[in-house]
Structure formats: C-alpha cells, structure tokens
Amino acid sequence: MRNYLWAMIALLIVLTSLGVAQVSAQWYYNGSYYTTCFQVPGNLTQCSGNLLQSPNGCVVLGFLVQSSIGLISTQYYTLQDLPSSYPPIGSWVIVTGQLNQGTNFSPNGAACPGNYIIVTSITQTNPIPY
C-alpha cells in the first residue's frame, strides 16, 4: 500500500509539471500498454484526456499510458480539424477521430507532435475519479 501511495504522489507531481491536471480511471489494454484510447466503429479512435495548447500553437490531447510493468508516461496527440468552437484549454475532453502518424504543423507553421487525430467530435466531460 505504501508503494502505491508513493507512486500516486510521484504521478501527480509529474502530471502537474506537464500541465495534465486530471486523470481518468478508464484504462484500456491495447495489447502493449494501458491507455485511455480505444477503437470505435468506422476505423476511428476515441481518447479522453486534458485539452492543452503548447506555446507554439499546437492544440493537443494529453493523457497517460501505463506499461504492463507499471511504468507511466504522458502521450500527446495533436488535434487537427477542430471545430470552430471547442471546449476551453485545460478541460477534460473526449475526442473521437482518425488516428494518424506523420508530420503536422500548428496554424502558425510550428511543428507539432507526430501522432495526430483528425477530429470528428470533441466533448467536454468530467474525469472519472479513481
């Protein structure tokens, strides 16, 4: 129990330093690691996480992934084709869209993380507590 408590404290410190303020308890095992993303019909992916914006203008979804041995890291997916009106930066959201890899840029031409979602829907929601 004590190790679990220390792991949670360390996780919260890391998340706070990365700007990820809330964590979902909805973990899905994809065969390699646990994530808050899963496949939905229509060759789409649905992920939950914090809506963030980098200083260079990239709007990204930040969420946790956990390896099968318990190592936790943060994954960032750039969000492309966002609707003209979307939830405020910093909110917890559910994003559905097509997951891709490759070069992509912010509206001002700055490089963004290579994993990206072409957004078909984005909804603000409350995170599920532990």
Domain residue limits, the chain: 2-124
* This model's pTM is above 0.95: no
pLDDT digits (tens, 9 = 90+) for 15-61: 444 444 444 445 555 566 567 788 889 989 898 889 999 888 899 99
**Spatial distance between the Cα atoms of 37 and 66, rounded to a whole number of angstroms:** 12
In order of 18, 65, 79, 108, the CA distances from 70 in angstroms are 19, 9, 27, 38
* Contact indicator for 30, 38 with CB cutoff of 8 Å: yes
Can you name the CATH fold of 2-124? OB fold (Dihydrolipoamide Acetyltransferase, E2P) (2.40.50)
* Tokens 């060759």, residue located: 43
In order of 29, 41, 117, the CA distances from 102 in angstroms are 24, 23, 11
| 52 vs 68, higher pLDDT | 52
Structure tokens at 119: 């957004």
3-state secondary structure 59-117: EEEEEEEEECCCCEEEEEEEEECCCCCCCCCCCEEEEEEEEEECCCECCCCCECCCEEE
Using DSSP's 3-state secondary structure scheme, residue 37 falls into strand
With a cut of 70, say whether residue 14 has pLDDT above it. no
